[in-house]
Amino acid sequence: MFACIFGRNVCRSEGRASADAENQRSGLGDLAFTFSPLVEQTTDATLVLDISGQDLLFQSTGCAISTGEIQSARKVANAIARRAKDLNIKINVAVASNPDTAIHAARAFKGVTVIECGEELSTIESLSIKTIDYSLASIDDKRAEELQETFALWGIRTFGELARLPLPGVAERLGQEGVRLQKLAQGRTNRQLNLVRPPIGFEQLLELEHPIDELEPLSFILSRLLNQLCANLHEYAFATNELKLNLKLQDKSEQQRVITLPVPMRNPKMLLRLLLFEIEREPPQAAIVAVAIVAEPVKPRASQTGLFIPLSPEPERLEITLARLAKLVGADNVGSPEILDTHRPDAFRVKKFRLDQKTHRNVKNNSRFALNAGEAPALPVMGLRIFRPPWRADVRLRHGTPTRINARCEQTSCSIHGEIVCVAGPWRAAGDWWCKDVWARDEWDVAVIDPKSFEGEVLCRIFRDLTTEQWFVAGIYD
Amino acid sequence: MNSAITKQEIESALAVRFGDVFERHGQRWVETLTTGVSEIDDVVGGFPRGAITEIRGAASSGRTSLLFSGLAAATTQEEICAVIDCSDTFDLSSAAKAGVDFERLLWVRCGHSLERAFKAVDLILHAGGFGCVALSLCDVPAKAVRRIISSWWFRFRRAIENTSTSLIVLTPVSAVRSCASLALEMKNERTLWPGTMSLVSSNDSGDKNAIEAERRLSLVATPAAKPHVYPAHTHFLRSMQIRANRQRPIDWSAGAMRFNPQLH
């Protein structure tokens, strides 16, 4: 059995791009998919759904099989009408044994119409021939106008009159198109539905009966939602690169966590770990009463490794590792360093570490074997280990030149003290004098020898802060 | 057991049943990661992959310079590298001058916590896919380094064996011990102070030793350092002495080399 839903308001507002009409259209679609997954959208206002097999849901006890089927179909139609009323959508519903009859009946008769098998012609015979849908017989508009004129010349005004014409005569004068139209008028067509897929929504929501204030029970909830979400993504051959976790808390506040993924993923275990790390990093202040996860669908990652491209960490595992590292040492302490465009010493920021496959450069001899084969790299440059923050130092001067230093790290027991045996400098640097955060310093490079130590010279960069006249050790050349 | 039976006799007797299991096979490095210093690569072949390399030495001995050189070479070859910075002393300016590509470098700052540093190394090694992982313990007190339990090193060695990851550990004193497949001991041999003033008389005996060492080793052709006067910070290490070892027990006569950091 097939049920046709015809939206009366949608039909009237066709051609007008109003928000109300759009809502009505989407409401019709949602209504149809509530009752059956097998839905054809014939026009914006007309949807046909296959309601076969719903006997268990809408069963009538104590009826014969055929009578029971009709009774259940009637119940389905009534349920559709009630649901539409709840949604404030004005519709006509018609149920028939074939979709085309249901369409014509739904468009013509108000309310709920149920046409029993064999009663098609008697039900629709009174309909005007002008209301016949030529597109159902695969007839274009131009030909449809010609046929309408022909029917008018023949004096045919209703479905019944066309249905009762002799078949050979119709076929002889109108060809196969005429035969198809006559079958439509008789309600005897039989065709498959052109199914449409339900609208894709990658969102999972769960309202909890009891508030959750621990991570472990929440992980089960998240796992369930993510499994369903990833199954949906997999079904549509999608992955996600952004997850939004919305938490409704017991204190009536809401929290949203957004996890941006470096590569599209749809592995529920990986996503679950990332969500748990995120929650663990910043736990909600109150118990959770509702959880919603929204995934942004994108095309899955397609990558091909090259023979001469060095191995790199698997993006999914790397993301988990980065989340764990962020939990271990803090999110600000993990990532790719970036030197800021300023003269201020040691100005940098740490940005999120990302593996960008597009940054693979076409290095000449880019195989790792090339260097092993004896390619001479450039000579190395001097390295500096910089102290953050700089060590406060006591410096003895002679004629303005440092001669002795004594410095100690406040966090560790490391120290630098001894005679300065060689010195270079000073180099003056200053900046940001136009704002409050002004800095100015005289930098020196010194070689320090501790007479009690056997380690030899320690080469340091020291500086005098000109704003405070305090000496510091900036770092050690190493 | 008869004391007259020597170890060699036992081995030869068992060799009939078990083959040449008692023969010491030299470690074969399937792959190495270049250090970026040809003199060192000529002697040791580079940092071994799937193994731990220990670079130890006192302050200003050139450990960080060698690490930067290795990182620059690795990132140039599109390897993904990681630096676990125990004391937060990684200098970005000198690393950038050395040629390290920061887009391919994961920097983990551990805030003077040894425990966090070791856990971070463990996480990164188990993630896999990194070409070079460097653990910098340069500014950790020697006493604390000596207290590091060996199980960490065994765990790390186990994690990276049969992978292409090279773990480089920078320490002030020996820490990795037998778990290190390559140990490099760094020593600042001479410093160069162009355009500077010397407050004390030059150490003649040190220079003599350096010349003698150069004659004895004669492993490298050191390019002559030009006595430029540089407007910015001077660059001191004229030459470094590095001793390499792969044998157990440690025998430092196995190989030694010197190299000159580039003046920039």
Question: What are residue A295's DSSP bridge partners?
Answer: A243
Q: Is A474 helix (H, G, I), strand (E, B) or coil?
A: strand
Residues of A in contact with B98 (CB under 8 A): 380-381, 383
Terminal C-alpha separation, chain A: 84
Lookup: tokens for A45 = 């206002």
**Are A338 and B102 an interchain contact pair (Cβ–Cβ within 8 Å)?**
yes
Interface probe with B: pick from A381, A421, A473, A476, most Cβ of B within 10 Å = A381
Residue A56 has pLDDT above 50, yes or no: yes
Pseudo-torsion of CA A220, A226, A228, A234, nearest 10°?
Answer: -150
Q: In this model, does residue B11 exceed pLDDT 70?
A: yes
User: B171 or A361: which carries more pLDDT confidence?
Assistant: B171
Q: Are A391 and A408 in contact (CB under 8 A)?
A: yes
Q: Among residues 400-439 of chain A, which lie with CB inside 8 Å of chain B?
A: 401, 403, 409, 411-414, 419-424, 427
Share of chain B above pLDDT 90, in %: 25
Which among B31, B63, B120 has the least Cβ separation from residue A478?
B63
So what's the pLDDT on residue B4? 56
Smallest CA–CA separation between B2 and chain A, in Å? 50
Query: What is the rounded average pLDDT of the residues B181-210?
Result: 56
Residue A16: other Cβ atoms inside 10 A: 8
**Does pLDDT of A230 surpass 50?**
yes
Inter-CA distances, B256 with A316, B222, B241, B242, Å: 43, 14, 7, 6
Looking at beta carbons, which residues of chain A come within 8 Å of B112? 411-412
Contact (CB<8Å) B89/A411 = no
Pairing of strands B180-191, A401-408: unpaired
Residue B103 contacts A where some CB pair is shorter than 8 Å: yes
What count of Cα atoms within 13 Å lies in the side-chain half-sphere of residue A59? 8
How many other CB atoms are found less than 10 A from the CB of residue B209?
A: 14
User: HSE-up of B79 (CA within 13 Å, CB side)?
Assistant: 28
Higher-confidence residue: A361 or A324? A324
pLDDT value at residue A401: 86
Listing DSSP states for A78-114 in one string gives HHHHHHHHHTT--EEEEEESSHHHHHHHHHHS-SEEE
d(CA A20, CA A26): 10
> Using omega within 30 degrees of 0 as the cis cutoff, is the peptide bond preceding B223 cis?
no
Q: What is the DSSP letter of A158?
A: B
How would residue A336 be classed by pLDDT, with cut points 50, 70 and 90?
very high
pLDDT band, very low/low/confident/very high, at A431 (cuts 50, 70, 90):
confident
Most confident of A32-46, A94-108, B3-17: A94-108
How far is the CA of A241 from the CAs of A170, A201, A232, A233, B70, in angstroms? 60, 15, 15, 12, 34
Of B33, B199, B235, which is closest to A421 when you measure between CB atoms? Answer: B199
The 3-state DSSP composition of chain A as helix, strand, coil percent (nearest 5) reads 35, 30, 35
User: Peptide bond preceding A377: is omega within 30 degrees of 0, i.e. cis?
Assistant: no
Top-confidence residue, B248 or A459 = A459
Question: Hey, are the CB atoms on A381 and B98 less than 8 Å from each other?
Answer: yes
Among B105, B116, B195, select the one facing A337 at the smallest CB separation.
B105
- B169 with B176: CB under 8 angstroms? yes
Per-residue pLDDT for A45 more than 90? Answer: no
Q: What is the pLDDT of residue B109?
A: 93
Give the model's confidence band at A378: pLDDT under 50 very low, under 70 low, under 90 confident, else very high.
Answer: low
- Predicted confidence at residue A333, as pLDDT, reads 92
Q: Tell me the pLDDT of chain A averaged across its residues.
A: 83
Partner residue opposite B62 with nearest CB, options A317, A445, A478: A478
Residue of B32, B59, B78 with shortest CB distance to A366: B78
Cα-Cα-Cα-Cα dihedral sign, residues B237, B241, B246, B250: negative
Q: What percent of chain A has pLDDT over 70?
A: 89
Cα B37 to chain center, whole Å? 12
Helix axes A268-281, A215-235, angle to 10 degrees: 140
Q: What is the ipTM of this complex?
A: 0.73
Mean pLDDT confidence for B40-58: 86
Specify whether the CB–CB gap between B167 and B131 falls below 8 A: no
Q: Out of A63-72, A127-136, A460-469, B59-68, which region has the weakest mean confidence (pLDDT)?
A: A63-72
Chain B residue numbers with beta carbons less than 8 Å from the beta carbon of A455 are 58-59
- For B172-176, what is the mean pLDDT? 88
- What is the pairing mode between strands B237-245 and B180-191? antiparallel
Given a cut of 60, whether residue A129 has pLDDT beyond it is: yes
Q: Any idea which of A196-205, A312-321, B17-26, B47-56 has the lowest mean pLDDT?
A: B17-26
pLDDT at B223 (0 to 100): 34
The strands making up A254-265's β-sheet, listed across from edge to edge, are A203-212, A288-298, A239-249, A254-265
Per-residue pLDDT at B260? 54
